Each structure stands twice: as C-alpha cells, then as structure tokens.
C-alpha cells in the first residue's frame, strides 16, 4: 500500500512539473512574439501607428505592423480632379520601387469636393479605371480640425494639402518629411531623386 502511494505521488508531481514547463514555454513564446511585434512597430514613425480601413472593404491595415522599416509616399487623392490621372504614374512608381522599400499610401478625401459620395465608386476609379494595386484607404479628412491624425501630423510638420494629390515623402524613421504639390508629377525628376535618396 505504501509503495502504491509513493508511485501515485511521483505521477502527480511529474504531471504538475510537466504542466508547469509547458505553461512557462508557452508564456516565453508569447513574450517573444510580443517583443518582436513591438520591435517592428518601433521601426516605424509613431504618427503612422494607426489601423486604417481599406477602401470599400471591411478589412483594416495596421500600417506600422505591415510596413515597418519602409519609406512612405502618402498621397491625398480624389476621383474627379484634373490630377486624377496621376494614379497611373503613382502605380508605375509603386511597381518600380516597391521591392526597394517604397510604400505608397493613398487616402481619398472630399475636402475639395471632388470625391465620389460612395466608396464603391471611388474604388472603381482607383482599381478599375487606373489599375491601382498600392494600398488605398477609406475616405478621410486631410485638413482642418477634423483631419485624420496622420494628415494632422503632416500638416504640423510641413503644411496641409492645398489641393488633391499632394505628396508627402516620409523617411523610414519619420524624421524627414518632404512635401510636394499637386503639380509635381509622381514620375518627375524632382520626386524620383527625393525617393532614391531615401531608399
């Protein structure tokens, strides 16, 4: 009987120890994953640490988590503007430099009353008419008191957009922000030289 009790005690202690080891290992793995995520987020400008809904979609993108360490070209867009054909050049820029670390982020805005009322129509202009494949997000405010925090920061550091298709080139650490007006075409020598200097 005593021997049987000893065997039971050994089994119980062994099971408890195994469970403890398994728990601690899982906790360690979880901690390592969190540390890695924090490290990636830290390698991204703080003002871009936002989750933004994709254009005409229920899905959202955590900008810093997905694009940490990249150089950003942030553009406020519109579907019915004289500069709307710049989508074609922006897409060409995206295709040429995406492998080198450039990320183009498009933010439709109706601040200048040239955006579609429905996101599905905005999406048609971007994705169907111009074949855009770089990230496009839901319609936002880009200037004034209701400006999205991303554009509020860009406005504070440089100036708010005066019209559609203003372009903000942001270094991977966020310390350098260059602002280009609507008149500066995406494939202009001026913008391309600035992009190449950041990559």
Q: pLDDT by residue (tens digit) across 44-103?
A: 999 999 999 999 999 999 999 999 999 999 999 999 999 999 999 999 999 999 999 999
Identify whether the C-beta of residue 177 lies closer than 8 Å to the C-beta of residue 168. yes
Three-state SS at 192: helix
Distance CA 167, CA 161 (A): 8
Identify whether the C-beta of residue 109 lies closer than 8 Å to the C-beta of residue 115. yes
8, 44, 64, 81: which is the annotated catalytic residue?
Answer: 81
Identify whether the C-beta of residue 125 lies closer than 8 Å to the C-beta of residue 77. no
With a cut of 90, say whether residue 27 has pLDDT above it.
no
At 143-198, the pLDDT tens digits run 999 999 999 999 999 999 999 999 999 999 999 999 999 999 999 999 999 999 99
Sequence-ordered list of residues with C-beta below 8 angstroms from that of 126, at least 6 positions apart, any chain: 55, 77, 79, 87, 106, 108, 132, 136
With a cut of 60, say whether residue 19 has pLDDT above it.
no
With a cut of 60, say whether residue 129 has pLDDT above it.
yes
Length of the chain: 199
Q: Identify whether 64 is a catalytic site residue.
A: no
Listed residue (112, 28, 125) closest to 86, CA to CA:
125
Interval 117-145 mean pLDDT: 97
Question: Judging by DSSP bridges, how do beta strands 167-170 and 71-77 pair with one another?
Answer: antiparallel
């Amino acid at each position: 009987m005593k021997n049987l009790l000893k065997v039971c005690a050994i089994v119980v202690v062994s099971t408890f120890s195994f469970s403890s080891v398994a728990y601690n290992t899982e906790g360690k793995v979880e901690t390592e994953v969190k540390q890695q995520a924090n490290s990636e987020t830290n390698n991204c400008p703080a003002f871009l640490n936002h989750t933004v809904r994709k254009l005409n979609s229920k899905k959202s993108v955590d900008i810093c988590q997905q694009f940490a360490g990249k150089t950003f070209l942030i553009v406020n867009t519109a579907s019915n503007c004289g500069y709307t054909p710049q989508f074609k050049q922006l897409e060409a820029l995206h295709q040429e430099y995406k492998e080198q670390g450039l990320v183009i982020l498009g933010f439709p805005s109706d601040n200048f009353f040239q955006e579609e009322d429905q996101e599905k129509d905005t999406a048609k202009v971007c994705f169907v008419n111009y074949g855009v494949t770089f990230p496009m997000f839901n319609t936002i405010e880009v200037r004034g008191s209701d400006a999205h925090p991303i554009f509020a920061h860009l406005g504070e550091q440089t100036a708010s957009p005066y019209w559609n298709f203003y372009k903000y080139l942001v270094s991977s650490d966020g310390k350098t922000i260059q602002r280009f007006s609507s008149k500066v075409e995406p494939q202009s020598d001026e913008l391309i030289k600035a992009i190449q200097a950041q990559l």
